[in-house]
Structure 1
Amino acid sequence: MIATMPEAYDLIVVGSGWFGLGAARAYLQSHPDQKIAVLESNESVGGTWSEKRLYPGLKSNNMLGSYEFPDFPMKEEVYGVKELDHIPGTVLSRYLTDFAKHYGIYEKLQFNSTVGLVECTESGWILTVMSPSGERRIPTEKLILATGLTSTPNIPSYKGAEKFENPFFHAKYFCRRADELKEVKNAVVVGGAKSAYDVAYAMVESGATVDMIIKPDSNGPVWIAPRKVTPLQHRIDTILNVRALSWFSPCPWGQEDGFGGVRKFLEKTSIGRMLVRGFWSMLGNDVLQHHQYDNHPELQKLKPWHSVFWIGSGLSILNYNTSFFDMIRDGKVRVHIENIDHLAPGKVVLENGDELVADAMICSTGWKKESTITFKGLDKTGLGLPINEKEQANLSLEYDTKVLNDFPILEKQPILRSKAKRPADPLRYYRFMVPSGMLAKRNFAFAGMISSVSTAICASTQGLWITAYFDDKLDRQAKTQDEITREIMMHTQWGKWRYPCGYGASLPDFVFEGIPYVDMLLKDMGIRNKRKGSFIKELISPYVPKDYNGVLDEYKRKIGIVTQ
């Protein structure tokens, strides 16, 4: 039986991770008298950092000061995290819960509520929501989908899986199924991403030996850096937010930082491109020399296959209490660059014939990057651009040419081993948030459909931009449908060429592009984007969340809301 709630909402936010909380907070602070709900499929706040997704030893890539909301600092005396400490998952779960309670979001939360269907109506939206009490329909005027990119696991299908007999699951459920792993002596971990390293490390810490399997036709092992990089020993989690260094990453919205002349030199001249290549070579070689991959045959298998220039936000950081690489040198983690042929009872059989004993098999095989929510009542273009397939194909070719003309350094692409089918089209949303056909309605947006190393900053800024957009308070916005379509095409087609070894072909992938993206959103709202105290600091002092403290109050004053 489907029940309809008696009251409608002014806004529903789906998801309570960083982006859901950032969006809910911005709207709630600007509209304290409106009726708002936040729907969360888990039992607790946090998305990736919700309680049931935490596993032993899980920490963030970020260190203290770079992974917090701008006006809600993660104080050492409250959370016990010291400078240069990576933030434990348990602390992040607590912090995000505290944030939700502090800003009155927690009381708006409905846990164990999964949205399956979204219907477009003349007055807004109707959500079909499944919860333990049954299915119900909830109407709302405005809707923000903040379900993120790590909600639906991508689980491989293997021959003989039904005969395997032992625990076999995705890394998402590593915490939930931890009790099944207590007696495991030999574990197989599939994947070369940071989460695969995390699971392998945790299993060795618990006394197991691990066989790590990386497909030879994948993009290979993750680029994983020490905490500090370059000869100047900069923190890796903040160096990516240094404005002057962002110039070395070609980007179509890069000129939003006000230094278009420098960017043009680096992008359009042979000397400039030589400097760009030199910068990325220095960054990559610094990491490679630190890890000394070539000094051990097993460790050599984890040496990245492509230049760090092409990787995207998959770049990670070593955040373990002891050396993960020593576990490999000691034979506690064995690396196989091989395909899996089939599974047998308690065994994983590789294509080369090797049989690996497996008391458990954990797949760190990524996420499905599309929304699992079904939409109903939209026109034929739905969430895409309002053009037909032929027009889309022609525009894709046109903007392939334009991207390479504007950024010649991207022309010589890396040779990929991956045979995985690439998506026909990336997500094509205005400012990576609003489908172009819905712009005029001002009642729908995605939050967090980006992969960024600047999560906290982007989450708070996207949340405020969505509020300003809903209220028709943006200072600037592309006006005609053709302008909107062409801007979206440039921004999204660029990703395919910029990060072929990352997520660029399917969704926005930001490394040094995060701060210029925030520049663009702040300038849309008429809010000052350069927030350092001097010109020199503006160029070389990394941007961290606290630099954006007060942005929401600035917006409220700008539109005439008196801050209490």
Structure 2
Amino acid sequence: MPESYDLVVVGSGWFGLGAARAYIELHPDQNIAILESNETVGGTWSEARLYPGLKSNNMLGSYEFPDFPMSEKIYGVKPLGHIPGAVLNRYLTDFAKHYGIFKRLQFNSTVGVVESTESGWTLTVTSPKGERKIQTTKLILATGLTSTPNIPQYKDADKFGKPFFHAKDFCKRADDLKGVTNVVVVGGAKSAYDVAYAMVESGATVDLIIKPDSTGPVWIAPRKVTPLQHRIDTILNVRALSWFSPCPWGHEDGYGAVRRFLQKTAIGRMLVKGFWNMMGNDVLQRNQYDNHPELQKLKPWYPVLWIGSGLSILNYNTSFFDMVRDGKVRVHVENIERLAPGRVVLENGDALVADAMICSTGWKKESTITFSGLDKTGLGLPTDEMGQAKLSAEYDAKVLKEFPILENQPVLRSKTKKSAEPLRYYRFMVPSAMVAKRNFAFAGMISSVSTAICASTQGLWITAYFDGKLEREAKTEDEIVREIMLHTQWGKWRYPCGYGASLPDFVFEGIPYVDMLLKDIGVQNKRKPSFIKELIEPYCPEDYNGVLQEYRQKQGIVVK
């Protein structure tokens, strides 16, 4: 007989742990398993993905579960300190143990196939002991957005003869990098900077290659921004500032009139543009890109308004930009023509000596998990290709009517690609055809700067949804489809230089998203002690401490 569970959670990163914690606390007597493909918890912060110098973008206090504070006494991180990767792994492990998750974890267990059945789901799981089947009534997939590397294919790659891998394996391949003197790093995102920094720290010289038809160098900010010296990792969670970001669920914060003024009037849009120009110019001036010809190559190509959650923070012990100025990191805005033995040949003819090549080239949104037994709608919407095209055109028009500022899109350097369908899920968690079944949800299929807050809130929402306890939800297929279309079609217009065209991408939208989920659940979303603080004090995880207990009390759930 196959193993059988009431709930299986796949993945033990932030979102998997958040989902498991909420469900376990409210269903302590049910049979629950958490499957993890790695040997440790943490997802991005699992031991296998750590390397010297790796730190979080977030600083202490903004990257922790609401009711499990990362105290300085226990974890040794100082105020305004970025959190080392090893500390985050320890913290997430401690969280899993504290809330009864760890004892339910099965490590080295990779889910390959998910089959829909009359009683729920059958999973095909591979582990060192072989392949086995697992049955479960309910299923949460929390494998996240950074599981499947996107590795470019280069001409004559087989002739390179040197270590060549994705940044995901930077830790695993550490032995291959010992003693190297010249390393090529491909990519313009923060992870590329992290790898380049680590290699220079180890004594190598780095050639950083940024494709000219990409979205360009990352927007990366100092710890504090604006003339008022706000923390960059928390200023994005200030409610009043979220009004300046056009968002279809923004009204969930209760300030729809202010948002309509800012988005629908000429004066309002002028204020919005001024806000974003101020934010962008502040970062550009502080980083002094124009003071050195090599640094100019790292100056972002597009206004910060359009960037999305790829926005990052300078969290290094020493200056990364000094490494560029000193020639230890050499920047090339160029395409790679081919690889040769120990060389990376660029289209301009330059042949870069390379003892190793590391690709920080992002992730595939497509999961490696295969679904079977689904109806013809699958994970998409109940419409054919022509119907989907009609819906997309309809909601393009709706988005631009609601947010006219989005019509003036930036001109991208990247080549026009055939647009793929974005992830279209209800509340960014449940495929439309599965809403009524209440037995399946994705957790963490969003890219957000408010990871910890979103992870805990999504986890509780999924539990309430599974239990049929949401106080507010779309009831008909038409309602579900129309809400999904508005929320997902908005993304491509809002963040064309980020992930918006393919998946949910949140910057200032994170707190309004949490507002929406908490109102669905029936828990107070405005959690500050005064009106003024509600508007201008950043929301941090600690503000949501007690949400799960409030929900439990509201539902009259007594935990033994």
Question: In the alignment, what sits opposite 1:236?
Answer: 232
SS of the residue 1:19 aligns to? helix
What residue identity is the alignment partner of 1:16?
S
Q: How does 1:2-17 map to 2 (within 5 A)?
A: 5=2, 7-17=3-13
Instruction: State whether structure 2 residue 364 is matched by structure 1 residue 368.
Output: yes
Instruction: State whether structure 2 residue 340 is matched by structure 1 residue 337.
Output: no
SS of the residue 2:251 aligns to? helix
Instruction: State whether structure 2 residue 400 is matched by structure 1 residue 404.
Output: yes
Gaps of 5+ in 1: none
SS of the residue 1:314 aligns to? coil
Instruction: State whether structure 2 residue 44 is matched by structure 1 residue 84.
Output: no
- Percent of aligned pairs sharing the same letter: 82
Whole-Å Cα distance in 2 between the matches of residues 548 and 403 of structure 1? 31
TM-score (normalizing by structure 2): 0.99
* CA shift for structure 1 position 195: 0.3
Instruction: State whether structure 2 residue 56 is matched by structure 1 residue 97.
Output: no
| Deviations 1:231-274 (CA, angstroms, capped at 9, x unpaired) | 00000000000000000000000000000000000000000000
Instruction: Please point out which of 51, 55, 62 is paired with 1:55.
Output: 51
Whole-Å Cα distance in 1 between the matches of residues 423 and 148 of structure 2? 17
| Deviations 1:12-71 (CA, angstroms, capped at 9, x unpaired) | 000000000000000000000000000000000000000010011000000000000000
Question: In the alignment, what sits opposite 2:255?
Answer: 259
What residue identity is the alignment partner of 2:220?
I
Whole-Å Cα distance in 2 between the matches of residues 480 and 128 of structure 1? 33
Instruction: State whether structure 2 residue 124 is matched by structure 1 residue 149.
Output: no
Q: Is the 8 A contact 1:557 1:563 kept in 2?
A: no
Instruction: State whether structure 2 residue 26 is matched by structure 1 residue 38.
Output: no
Whole-Å Cα distance in 2 between the matches of residues 219 and 144 of structure 1? 32
Whole-Å Cα distance in 2 between the matches of residues 391 and 354 of structure 1? 49
Q: How does 1:200-239 map to 2 (within 5 A)?
A: 200-239=196-235
Whole-Å Cα distance in 2 between the matches of residues 288 and 434 of structure 1? 39
Question: In the alignment, what sits opposite 2:133?
Answer: 137
Whole-Å Cα distance in 1 between the matches of residues 336 and 301 of structure 2? 20
* CA shift for structure 1 position 558: 1.0
Q: How does 1:410-559 map to 2 (within 5 A)?
A: 410-419=406-415, 421=417, 423-559=419-555
Q: How does 1:250-289 map to 2 (within 5 A)?
A: 250-289=246-285
Q: Is the 8 A contact 1:386 1:437 kept in 2?
A: yes
* CA shift for structure 1 position 322: 0.1
Q: Is the 8 A contact 1:348 1:358 kept in 2?
A: yes
Instruction: State whether structure 2 residue 120 is matched by structure 1 residue 124.
Output: yes
Instruction: Please point out which of 157, 174, 178 is paired with 1:178.
Output: 174
* CA shift for structure 1 position 562: 2.3
* CA shift for structure 1 position 379: 0.6
* CA shift for structure 1 position 424: 2.2
Question: In the alignment, what sits opposite 1:66?
Answer: 62
Question: In the alignment, what sits opposite 2:314?
Answer: 318
Q: Is the 8 A contact 1:216 1:417 kept in 2?
A: yes
Q: Is the 8 A contact 1:218 1:420 kept in 2?
A: no
* CA shift for structure 1 position 420: 6.2
| Deviations 1:449-497 (CA, angstroms, capped at 9, x unpaired) | 0000000000000000000000000001011111110010000000000
What residue identity is the alignment partner of 1:354?
D
Whole-Å Cα distance in 1 between the matches of residues 186 and 416 of structure 2? 16
Whole-Å Cα distance in 2 between the matches of residues 102 and 77 of structure 1? 17
Whole-Å Cα distance in 1 between the matches of residues 97 and 414 of structure 2? 44
Q: Is the 8 A contact 2:12 2:34 kept in 1?
A: yes
Whole-Å Cα distance in 1 between the matches of residues 500 and 294 of structure 2? 30
Question: In the alignment, what sits opposite 2:350?
Answer: 354
Q: Is the 8 A contact 2:221 2:312 kept in 1?
A: yes
Whole-Å Cα distance in 2 between the matches of residues 499 and 261 of structure 1? 24
Q: Is the 8 A contact 2:25 2:559 kept in 1?
A: no
SS of the residue 1:489 aligns to? helix
Instruction: State whether structure 2 residue 375 is matched by structure 1 residue 379.
Output: yes
Whole-Å Cα distance in 2 between the matches of residues 175 and 418 of structure 1? 31
Query: In 2 relative to 1, CA 481–420 (structure 1 residues): closer, same or farther, beyond 3 Å?
Result: same
SS of the residue 1:143 aligns to? strand
Whole-Å Cα distance in 2 between the matches of residues 563 and 288 of structure 1? 52
Whole-Å Cα distance in 1 between the matches of residues 332 and 163 of structure 2? 21
Question: In the alignment, what sits opposite 1:290?
Answer: 286
Whole-Å Cα distance in 1 between the matches of residues 480 and 36 of structure 2? 32
What residue identity is the alignment partner of 1:100?
A
The alignment's C-alpha RMSD in Å is: 0.7
Whole-Å Cα distance in 2 between the matches of residues 150 and 240 of structure 1? 22
Whole-Å Cα distance in 2 between the matches of residues 419 and 372 of structure 1? 27
Question: In the alignment, what sits opposite 1:246?
Answer: 242
Question: In the alignment, what sits opposite 2:15?
Answer: 19
Q: Is the 8 A contact 1:144 1:445 kept in 2?
A: yes
Moved more, 418-427 or 408-417: 418-427
Whole-Å Cα distance in 1 between the matches of residues 503 and 452 of structure 2? 18
Q: Alignment length, in residue pairs?
A: 560
Whole-Å Cα distance in 1 between the matches of residues 216 and 548 of structure 2? 41
* CA shift for structure 1 position 10: 0.1
What residue identity is the alignment partner of 1:56?
P
Whole-Å Cα distance in 1 between the matches of residues 291 and 224 of structure 2? 21
Q: Is the 8 A contact 1:553 1:563 kept in 2?
A: no
* CA shift for structure 1 position 563: 4.9
SS of the residue 2:435 aligns to? helix
Q: Is the 8 A contact 1:429 1:488 kept in 2?
A: yes
SS of the residue 2:378 aligns to? coil
Whole-Å Cα distance in 2 between the matches of residues 497 and 422 of structure 1? 16
TM-score (normalizing by structure 1): 0.99
4+ long deviations beyond 2 Å? 420-424
Whole-Å Cα distance in 2 between the matches of residues 184 and 159 of structure 1? 23
Question: In the alignment, what sits opposite 1:393?
Answer: 389
Whole-Å Cα distance in 2 between the matches of residues 11 and 562 of structure 1? 20
SS of the residue 1:65 aligns to? coil
Whole-Å Cα distance in 2 between the matches of residues 421 and 374 of structure 1? 25
SS of the residue 1:155 aligns to? coil
Q: Is the 8 A contact 1:51 1:93 kept in 2?
A: yes
Moved more, 414-423 or 354-363: 414-423
Whole-Å Cα distance in 2 between the matches of residues 484 and 181 of structure 1? 50
SS of the residue 2:426 aligns to? coil
Question: In the alignment, what sits opposite 1:189?
Answer: 185
